[in-house]
Each structure stands twice: as structure tokens, then as C-alpha cells.
A and B are shown apart, each in its own frame.
Chain A
Amino acid sequence: MQPGKGHLMIQFDAVHKRFPNGTTAVHDLSLEMPEGGVTVLVGSSGCGKTTTLRMINRMVDPTSGTIRVGGRDVLDQDAADLRRSIGYVIQQSGLFPHRTVLDNIATVPLLLGHGRRKARARAAELLETVGLTAESGKRYPHQLSGGQQQRVGVARALAADPPVLLMDEPFGAVDPVVRTQLQDELLRLQKELSKTIVFVTHDIDEAVRLGDQIAIFRTGGHLVQCATPSELLARPADDFVADFLGAERGLKLLSLTPLKGIPQAPAPEGGTWELVLDGARRPLHWRTEDTELPVRPLSDADSLLAALNESIASPTGLVARVDADGALTGVTSRDEIHEHAGLAHAEARVA
């Protein structure tokens, strides 16, 4: 929980879910999700993370315990009305194949009785928000790529401007490159919209990337640990969590720390390797008399992990640092990066 990040939007209080066949999907869950934050639920399949998500908009009702959204017990509300007030992005988009993209996005405004013209105008606006062309609005879902369909799914969930967004493995079915793009876009959108997002995934990297807090579930519906990504990576509660975070747990933590603030020195001149710049002082490559090696310049927003990787790959052990325009500002040594990597861990341990 992040203190001071606004009040709680979603609260689970001693929630239990047993299905009629006897399996316990969620076991005595108490969990709080702050307003305007992204809570990621992770765990292997059958750990209850999806059931937890689906109890928020009453796609599943709890066996016991209370769930409050915006302070109100969900069971006191009409299920359909509640669902219209909560955005839902489903696995593999779940778009309506018989409706155009525009009408798919307009679904909830139409259910709310906003009128077709107004709903379509809003949908057209959202097409742009999620990075789709106005022309794609007239198409049918099957005419779009998987990544585009997911964007439509997000737009549809945002159409009635709900304060809460539920996302059930929304990027699970697209290839890694598109997935990274979609994650970036979600982070960009979230900066603008500040929704309370509950995001289910089994991909820990996705969780670390998107989450303000991460809740890790174990089979049988037990919540094992809920913490910020850096706290989780620095101080996993037990071996289960440590295993789940994977062998590169130490490196993953570095992905959360930006390069900003790490000292840089002027680029060396006259060594064996020379950093070649173009006319606008943008790094092109490392060069000796007979070879050229690629350089991957990093900006302040890039992570310590990227810097560590580049410092190992760089023939000089130096990382080229650039400003927003891509012009060289200086270099940082491998030693400097190592030192700050250690510091990042030390800070996370005590935070």
C-alpha cells in the first residue's frame, strides 16, 4: 500500500469463494486497492487471481466476506448497473464480431441510454485515444490485427469513463513486440487518466512493468504478498515469491530504477575505441581502425538494467548518454553503473 496515494477504491475484506464443485478459488482474501493506482494480480493458473478480479464486477459472487467499490458493497448493487460503471478488458479482446469497431466501443454508452449519435461520437474520440485511425472504426473486429483488437477492447472499456478498469490478461494473446507497445500505451494512458486499474497476468515482467502494487497468489487462492514492485523484488516474503520472481530478480529490480541522476563524464578521446557522432552529435557506433560496433545510447528515462546490459556489451565498458533529442551528453562507466546497481538494492531493502 502506498500511503498518501488517495483513498481506497476497492477493498476486499475476508473474501472467500468456493465453487459448487468444492474447489476453493479464493481463500480469506483481504486486499486494498488505492484510487488511481494499478494493482496487478499475479500467480500461476488456478491461483484465484481471475476469480478475484471477476468478483469486483460481480461476474462471480463471493461465498462470504465483503467487496467494496468506492465504499459501496458490490452485493448491494444491481449487477448490470455495477458492470456498466466498471470498465472490463477481457482476454483475447472478446469483441462483438457482428458490430463494427465503432459500435463495439459504443456498447456501454448505448446501454446507459446515451443515444446513438452521442455514443458514436465518443467512440470516435476513443479510437484516437488508443491510437487507431478513424477509418478502422467502420471495420469489423476480424479485419483487425490482434494488437489492434486489444486496443479496441481498451477503448470499449473506457467508453463510459468508468473510475475502475478491470483487465484480465488483456495482452496475453499478442506477440511480445506488440505486447510491449500495448504496455507502453497503457502506461501513457494511465498517466493521463489515473484510473484505478486491476490487472491480471501470469507474466511477472508485465506485473513489474505496470504495477504500482503487485499481489502474488498461490494455488488454492492464497494471497502470499502484496507490495510495490521494488519492495517485492528486494524483499520477497518467502521462497514461493522469490521463485515466482525468477532467477533474474536482482536484475528486474534494476529495471525499475531510471538512469537519471547517475553521474556522467565527457566521452574519452584518443583511445583504441572511438565513439563516432553524426552532425547533430548523435552517437552512431564505436570504431577502431578496422571495426565498427553498434552503440545503444541511453537517456535519463532508461533503466539501470538497460545501462548494465549496455556497459557489458560496450567494447569500452562505457555507456553513451544522450538527451531527449538523442545528442550525446556524456558517458558512464561500468564501475559507476555497478555501484549504483548495488545502491538501488540497498535502498530497496530498507525502503
Chain B
Amino acid sequence: MTIDWSWIGDHTDDLTTLTFSHLQAALSAVLFGLLISLPLAVVAHRIRPLRGLLLGLSNVLFTIPSIAVFVLLLPVSGLTRTTTVIGLTIYTLVVLLRNTVEGLDSVPAKTKEAAKAMGTRPLRALLTVELPLALPVIMAGVRIATVMSISLVSVATYIGDGGLGQLFTDGFQRNFPTPVIVGVVLTLLLALVADALLVAVQYVLTPWTRRRA
């Protein structure tokens, strides 16, 4: 298997576009996943009976084959970026929901008690005490969801989207390995860079976890 370096040189513009498109799909999914998971996780955390139901539901959604999800979404949103993002979002839920609930569970009872006893109202306690303290566990979920989404975007090639995934179909159809290898390398790089950035974000957001005495 040899790499046709001139092909890469001729297609830098296309590769850049595909990379950004790929990243945009994955990040949108994580973002929407978070927007959906956060309120659901708070509900699951506070109302015990709903916890099993919500976590179970997210598990069930996760088991649906990805191609089937896209097919099922076609009548709703058609062959669009929206379909890709909805599909990917569904898969992020299982990690984001579970980690956010676990993160909220991990906040020490003493700390919540102190917040209440100081006269903090429930919403403010959630935003300024519980969620910040749950952040390390939530961020662990965000990292998994991000890497997972970046790898999963390619599946949307099936509905004409798929970012870097298009390189795989292209290479496969023409029996030409270069685009496939380039696609794999770029996907890996994207995942690595995104993960490193998230580690940096977490470092900035959680200064209290840095210097252990």
C-alpha cells in the first residue's frame, strides 16, 4: 500500500473543508447532547424513581445500530447535516447522562448541606456548588462523547454527509488507498487534538483539583 503524496497536495482545500465539516458535526452533537443531558441528569439525580428509567432509555438508544438511526431519521430531516447531528447526539446521551448523574452523586452530602445551611436556594446551589463539583466526572464523559462522536461521524457518509468519512467511500470505490489512509490519520488527529483541548479546558475550569496538598 503506497501513499500518493501528490494526491494529498492536490486536495488540501478539500481535506481542510472535510476536516472542519467533520469536527463541526461531532462537536454539535456533543453540545446538543450536553444541553439535553444536563437537565435530564438533574431530574434523574433528584427523583430516584426516574433515574433507572432515564439511564435505561439512554442505554436502549445506544444499542440501536447507527445506520438504522439515520434511516429512521430520513423521513423527518432528510439527507441533511441535521440528520447527522441528531443521530450522533443520540449516541452521546448514554455517556453524558450517566456521567452527569454520577458527577452530581459524587458531590459530598456535607457540602450540599453547608450550601443549604448558608441560605443558598436550590437553583443557585445546583449552578454554583453541585455542577462545579461534578465537573471532573462530567468532563470525563464529555471527553469520551467527543472522541466517540469524531469516530462516528464517518457513518453518516451513508446519507451523503460524514465529513472525512467520504474519503473512505471515495478510496474504496476507486480502489485507491491514499484517501482512506489520509482519512484515518486526520480522524485520529482530530480526536487527539480535541481530547487534549478538553483536558486543558478542564484544567482551567477546576483550579481546586490542581495542587493536592
Binding site for B on A (CB under 8 A): 57, 59, 80-85, 88, 90-92, 94-99, 107-108, 111, 140, 142-144, 156
Q: Does B212 have its Cβ within 8 Å of any Cβ on chain A? A: yes
Please tell me which one of the listed residues B110, B116, B119 contacts residue A92 in the complex, with CB atoms under 8 A apart.
B110
Q: Looking at chain B, what size class is its interface with the partner chain?
A: 20 to 34
Ranked 9 nearest A-B pairs via Cβ: A84-B119, A94-B114, A83-B119, A143-B213, A88-B117, A140-B208, A94-B110, A80-B119, A98-B208
Contact B116 A59 (CB under 8 A): yes
Q: With contacts A83-B117, A140-B208 known, what are 18 further pairs, Cβ within 8 A?
A: A57-B117, A80-B120, A83-B116, A83-B118, A83-B119, A84-B119, A88-B117, A90-B113, A90-B117, A94-B111, A94-B117, A96-B129, A97-B108, A98-B133, A107-B120, A108-B118, A111-B118, A142-B212
User: What residues of chain A lie closer than 8 Å to B110, measured between beta carbons?
Assistant: 90-92, 94
Please tell me which one of the listed residues A99, A108, A142 contacts residue B119 in the complex, with CB atoms under 8 A apart.
A108
Assembly CA distance A83 to B118 (angstroms): 6
Closest B residue to A54 by CB, please name it: B117
Query: Closest CB-CB distance, B50 to chain A, in whole Å?
Result: 21
User: What residues of chain A lie closer than 8 Å to B121, measured between beta carbons?
Assistant: 80
Query: Closest CB-CB distance, A90 to chain B, in whole Å?
Result: 5
Q: A80-B120, A80-B121, A111-B119 are in contact. Are A97 and B133 (CB under 8 A)?
A: yes
Q: Does B17 have its Cβ within 8 Å of any Cβ on chain A? A: no
Q: Does B16 have its Cβ within 8 Å of any Cβ on chain A? A: no
Q: Does B171 have its Cβ within 8 Å of any Cβ on chain A? A: no
User: What residues of chain A lie closer than 8 Å to B211, measured between beta carbons?
Assistant: 140, 143
Q: Does B132 have its Cβ within 8 Å of any Cβ on chain A? A: yes
User: What residues of chain A lie closer than 8 Å to B108, measured between beta carbons?
Assistant: 97
Contact A81 B119 (CB under 8 A): yes
Assembly CA distance A57 to B114 (angstroms): 12
Can you spell out 20 A-B residue pairs with CB atoms less than 8 angstroms apart?
A59-B113, A80-B119, A83-B116, A83-B118, A84-B118, A85-B119, A88-B114, A94-B113, A94-B114, A95-B114, A96-B111, A97-B108, A97-B111, A98-B133, A99-B208, A107-B118, A108-B118, A111-B118, A111-B124, A140-B207
User: What residues of chain A lie closer than 8 Å to B190, measured between beta carbons?
Assistant: none
Q: Does B206 have its Cβ within 8 Å of any Cβ on chain A? A: yes
Q: Does B115 have its Cβ within 8 Å of any Cβ on chain A? A: yes
User: What residues of chain A lie closer than 8 Å to B213, measured between beta carbons?
Assistant: 142-144
Contact B119 A98 (CB under 8 A): no
Most buried by B among A59, A95, A108, A111: A111
User: What residues of chain A lie closer than 8 Å to B111, measured between beta carbons?
Assistant: 94-97
0/1 string, B112-155, CB within 8 A of A gives 1: 01111111110010000100110000000000000000000000
User: What residues of chain A lie closer than 8 Å to B117, measured between beta carbons?
Assistant: 57, 59, 83, 88, 90, 94
User: What residues of chain B lie closer than 8 Å to A90, measured between beta carbons?
Assistant: 110, 113-114, 117
Closest A residue to B124 by CB, please name it: A111
Query: Closest CB-CB distance, A168 to chain B, in whole Å?
Result: 9
Contact A97 B119 (CB under 8 A): no
0/1 string, B158-197, CB within 8 A of A gives 1: 0000000000000000000000000000000000000000
Assembly CA distance A270 to B118 (angstroms): 65
Closest B residue to A159 by CB, please name it: B118
User: What residues of chain B lie closer than 8 Å to A107, measured between beta carbons?
Assistant: 118, 120
Assembly CA distance A43 to B121 (angstroms): 32
Assembly CA distance A140 to B210 (angstroms): 10
Assembly CA distance A98 to B213 (angstroms): 14
